[in-house]
Structure 1
Amino acid sequence: MTSTRRAYGTGSVWYDEKRKRWVGTIETGWTARGTRRRKTRVGPTKMAVQRKLREAMREAEQQQAPTVGGKPTVKTWAEQWLEITARSLRPTTWQANASQVATWIVPTIGHRRLEALRPADVRAVERAMEVAGRASSTISRCLAVLTKMLKDAVIEGHPVPQAVLLVQTAAPGESDRDAIPLPDALALLEQAATLPDASRWVAALLQGMRPAECLGLTWDLVDLDEGVIDVSWQLKPLPYRVARDRTSGFRVPRGYNARQVYGALHLVRPKTASGQRIIPLVPWMRDALIAWREQCPASPLGLVWPRPDGRPRDDGDDRAAWVRLQDAARVASVDGEQGRRFTLYEARHTTATLLREARVDDQTITAIMGHATILSTKAYLHTDRGRVRTALEDVAARLQLGALR
């Protein structure tokens, strides 16, 4: 199948070898439920399909009532807002916003005019999510998206009542995420030591690496002679311009550094400059990586922890492996019953907690974790790498990594 990338908004056209026909799709707005409306046209030639797509767009523009009484609705502004913010937001943030808009905001108050909104409309979205049993943190994020969207509408010159922007909603509940208790962390590492890729899980518990950083790590960024890892890339999926349409290209904001590696998966830069950092390797981790390099599946991309076939391991694969490790280690279980499993980010919390318990200073912790709360740079790590290495060796001792050799 051959495909042609076209300017966004003109649809996608490709030749279907199976049907021996040209096929085209184009988005024509939102449905009443808040999902994207897509039209498909088929023809004997590419030009014929392109003509049909233009006709479909004209028909949609004539039939769709983008405003009520000449005034923009929440639904039509939401569509415009998503198109505007796609140029500047990181793809994962944009996707999360689009999901909240399509799932909750548009179905609940999409028919309301911006100028006629009332505080009760904001509370209506909140109630809809509460009735559906959504967590308070999820509700808080959705309402933050709604507020941001309405504030941007004001900036664009749309009338939104000030009272709506000042609505006080319930604060998010406390997260139950925490550091993994040391006995459970030790059990996880003991179980991981039986696996060829044990270094993957030590990278989370000891090095404090984010899941996307581990999945995007390549061997050319691992210096086993110097004993350091250069954390400069993350593996992230980018959204297609048209959902599930692989011929439509990807939504890539301005200035976003991304390299496609497989399907929607791309290597991207961390969100902040402090996310790019050099992490020293303790002896156990260095030895584990040397051993793993000899049996690591061949990856065209040189990935350190790929799938068995060499392709990138996505979030789902990684989480499934993490769950299997916990079940095998019998952690988070009570009286033989599996309780709430730890998330991979809780492994990262564990690193920070162990560093704190080892009385490591804030600046060193920030440099290891890649946070932006303190001014820390790769230059700092180069000039004072010894202090960072000592801190990680202290954590390695607490995790009894020497005993797992």
Structure 2
Amino acid sequence: MARPINPEGTWTVTANKKRRLKQSFRLADGQTVRKSFTATTKDACRDLRDEWMLANGLDPVRPTAPARSMPTLDQWIVEVRRTDDLNNLEAATVSAAASLYRNHLKSQLGNRLIDTITATDVVELQIHLKAKGMSASTVRAVHVQLAKALNLAVRRGHLTRNVAADVAKPAPAQRSPQPFSQTELLAVWNVVIRHRDSARWAAQLMTGGRQSECLGLAWGDFNLEENRLIIKRSLKRVQWLHGCDPKEQDQHTPAQCPHKTKASQFGKTKSAAGVRAIWLPDQLVEVLRDWRVDWERAAKRGIFDTSILSEHGGLVFPSSTTGGARDHRADARQWQAILHEAEVLHRGTHSSRHTVATQLLTEGIDPRIVQEALGWSDGSQLPRYQHVTTSLTKKAGKAIENQWDQIIGRDADVLPIRRAGTTDD
């Protein structure tokens, strides 16, 4: 009678992507036989093995996997965070995910075993969040976090399917760009040139950079002689990290953790496409040259902390109050104060990016160049500027029309075209 030596065997994949099970058996006469079974799936391989074992006098009994204790969502989220740490996710990403779970998921599904969560529970979670007044983007982000956790459970063998995948994610809110008009830009500019941080806001208006990219600029990123800037980093919002055991992290926020640590403030741009070269307008170069003189004077007096990004020439736009890196919220408040003084509709700093994109497209710049200049990963943002691209398409059509006017004119003897074989009525 044949007896398997290693009940599970070993698995390999063949050159044509089939599964191969290799397993050793000890026959009744004491001989050891090593067999291989090849098929398209693992289950098919096991079926072939079972047939062989029956032919050799052994009733195949597949070993049962050891019973696993099913974790609750609270317990499983600890494993998700450990996986995030192994994947070296940005501190801001991890912190945002932890906040979403603590504020929206924990109270609803935290004590549920993950295999008892159903698609109906996911739908009811979305309804609950909308009833609380959460935005579509927040509801979508919570759904993504839950789906991510359950997907990891599927990959680890705890679940057979991800029920969150059966529920549609809320569509993200589509917001039309709100670029400044030329009249509004002039009003804002007249306030900016009198502001103590005029260079900071001139750079925001003329480069199209994100707020975090402008705040992370160092003098070494500029070549004012060639009107060139290379954006290569961003200043992240202040992020506190947990220093306690992962099992205790749901009991308090990172900022309240007794063993908290501060994450690095400077990091990568939003995407790989964010690292880019920008040509600077002469007006901005002049403002930056004047600012460099004032910056060096302030640095000598100890007003600015020159140790920040010192290896890159120093931080270009430090806080005028603390001398260190600017706080994103304080920076945004300063921007709103400028708009208020200019008597312009209040918008975020991102409106300057919309304005630069609109200006470039209006000037007929190739959309692919616009995409590169603004650091977009793909062209999915362009449809938001359809009002601009439509007018450019009409302008292009008029240009072709003018060319044909020069070739064939608009003479009635030329138009309309008469097809061969036709006669006038």
* TM-score relative to the length of structure 2: 0.63
Partner of 2:71: 72
Question: What corresponds to 2:119 in structure 1?
Answer: 119
Compute the displacement of 1:272 (Å): 2.9
Out of 339, 348, 352, the position equivalent to 1:326 is: 339
Among 326, 339, 349, the alignment partner of 2:354 is: 349
Q: How does 1:22-171 map to 2 (within 5 A)?
A: 70-88=69-87, 89-159=89-159, 161-171=161-171
- CA deviations on 1:120-159 (whole Å, 9 max, x unpaired) are 2112321221122111122112212211221122112221
Other-structure match for 1:304: 316
**SS of residue matched to 1:244:** helix
Letter in 1 for 2:374: M
Post-superposition, which runs of at least 4 consecutive aligned residues in structure 1 deviate over 6 A? none
Residue 195 of structure 1 pairs with residue 195 of structure 2? yes
> Alignment length, in residue pairs?
286
Q: Aligned partner of 1:208: which letter?
A: G
Residue type at the aligned position of 1:357? T
Q: Is the 8 A contact 1:118 1:161 kept in 2?
A: no
Q: Which runs of 5+ in 1 are unaligned?
A: 1-68, 251-262, 333-340, 375-405
**Correspondence list, 1:280-291, <5 A:** 280-291=279-290
Would the alpha carbon gap of residues 112 and 176 (structure 1) be closer, same or farther in structure 2, given more than 3 Å must change? farther
Question: More strand per residue: 1 or 2?
Answer: 1
Q: Which residue of 1 aligns with 2:222?
A: 222
Aligned to 1:244: 255
Partners of 1:264 and 1:184 lie apart in 2 by 38
Q: Deviations over 1:19-69 (max 9, x none)?
A: xxxxxxxxxxxxxxxxxxxxxxxxxxxxxxxxxxxxxxxxxxxxxxxxxx9
Structure 2: runs of 5 or more not aligned: 1-67, 244-253, 309-313, 380-425
3-state SS of 2:315 partner: coil
Whole-Å separation in 2 of the counterparts to 1:292 and 1:358 = 29
Spell out, residue by residue over 1:157-206, the C-alpha distance to the aligned partner (whole angstroms, 9 max, x if none). 22154444211243233336533344323321221111142222222222
Separation in 2, partners of 1:156, 1:168: 24
SS at match of 1:344: coil
Where relative contact order (Cα < 8 A, 6+ residues apart) is larger, the structure is 1
- Contact persistence 2:154–2:161 (CA under 8 A): no
Cα distance, 1:264 vs. partner? 4.4
Percent identical residues: 26
Question: What is the one-letter code of the residue matched to 1:84?
Answer: T
What residue identity is the alignment partner of 1:244? A
CA 1:359–1:210 in 2, change beyond 3 Å: closer, same or farther? same
Q: CA deviation at 1:108?
A: 0.8
The one-character-per-residue Cα deviations of 1:226-274 (angstroms, maximum 9, x if unpaired) are: 2211211111134423323788575xxxxxxxxxxxx645221224332
Cα drift, residue 327 of structure 1: 1.0
Show the counterpart of 2:367.
Answer: 362
Any idea what SS the aligned residue of 2:186 has?
A: helix
Displacement of 1:328 in angstroms is 0.9
Q: Is the 8 A contact 1:122 1:167 kept in 2?
A: yes
Secondary structure of 2:265's match? strand
Check 1:367–1:211 CA distance in 2 against 1; reply closer, same or farther (3 A cut): same
Larger radius of gyration: 2
Partner of residue 270, structure 1: 269
Q: Say whether the 8 Å CA contact 2:117–2:163 is kept in structure 1.
A: no
Counterpart residue identity of residue 290, structure 2? A
User: What TM-score results when the alignment is normalised by the length of structure 1?
Assistant: 0.66
Question: 1-side partners of 2:170 and 2:356: how far apart?
Answer: 31
